[in-house]
Amino acid sequence: MKRRDFLRSTGALGATGALLALGGCDQPSTEPQSPIAYEPGKPVPWINWAGNQSCQPQHRPAPASIDELVSVLKTAKGTVRAVGAGHSFSAVVPTDDTLIATDLLSGVIDHDPVTNTAQVLSGTRLHDLGYRLADIGQALPNMPDMAYLALGGAIVNCAHATGVNFGSMGSYVNSLRLATVGGIFVG
């Protein structure tokens, strides 16, 4: 059974269902690849990686700077959500109102060689971050088994790897600059 099919089964059936679903490993999946089809005249569907979450956002801004992000937030309509790599398999991303793509908010914007810290935009994908940190002589102590994740999504969900002495991605954060409708908050 493919990893994507497994996640879809476990999401739909729960923990007990996961065990039942494993019994059918040799059965080819007959499920459609996409849980929601595009219909002309309706918003283009958003679908997560596993294919078990979807929505049809009316607005899908993709700000390319922090200033642009704040201005998007100030004029955003309805329920506003951000999306990183869309690898969460629970319903933490879907909204039919405003879905903000963070892909263009990417890169290391500052670093401190003394404290060995870096300021990184939250849309940076982990597979990209490794190279960018290497350029400044830094590296993540540990990371999840999946490098497609965006840093923001990995921090929000406290994505983790293995090893009892390593914290989750959230534990690597010293401070945050949070964009809100009221502007930028530092914490």
Ligand X SMILES: Cc1cc2nc3c(=O)[nH]c(=O)nc-3n(C[C@H](O)[C@H](O)[C@H](O)COP(=O)(O)OP(=O)(O)OC[C@H]3O[C@@H](n4cnc5c(N)ncnc54)[C@H](O)[C@@H]3O)c2cc1C
- In the three-class reduction of DSSP (H, G, I as helix; E, B as strand; rest coil), residue 100 is classed as strand
Burial of 88 (0-12, 13-18, 19+ CB in 10 A): buried
- In the three-class reduction of DSSP (H, G, I as helix; E, B as strand; rest coil), residue 41 is classed as coil
d(CA 31, CA 43): 23
Which of 59, 81, 111, 132 contacts ligand X by CB under 6 A? 81
**H/E stretch holding 18:** helix 3-22
CB nearer to ligand X: pick between 39 and 67? 67
Which of 72, 73, 82, 129 contacts ligand X by CB under 6 A? 82
- Residue 59 engages ligand X in binding (rule: CB under 6 A): no
Which of 21, 55, 73, 83 contacts ligand X by CB under 6 A? 83
Evaluate whether 111 touches 117 at the Cβ level (below 8 Å): yes
Q: Which residue has the CB atom at the shortest distance from ligand X? A: 153
Give the residue among 114, 122, 141, 115 at the shortest CA–CA distance from 130. Answer: 141
* Number of other residues whose CB lies within 10 A of the CB of residue 10: 19
CB nearer to ligand X: pick between 41 and 163? 163
Residue numbers 38-57 binding ligand X by CB under 6 A: 49-50
Binding mask 122-161 for ligand X (x = CB under 6 A): xx--------------------xxx--xx-xxx-xx-xx-
Residue numbers 97-116 binding ligand X by CB under 6 A: 102
- Rounded to the nearest 10 degrees, how much is the dihedral formed by the CA atoms of 23, 25, 30, 31? 80
CB nearer to ligand X: pick between 66 and 75? 66
Beta carbon of residue 143, minimum distance to ligand X (angstroms, whole number): 8
Binding site for ligand X (CB under 6 A): 3, 7, 49-50, 81-89, 92-93, 102, 122-123, 144-146, 149-150, 152-154, 156-157, 159-160
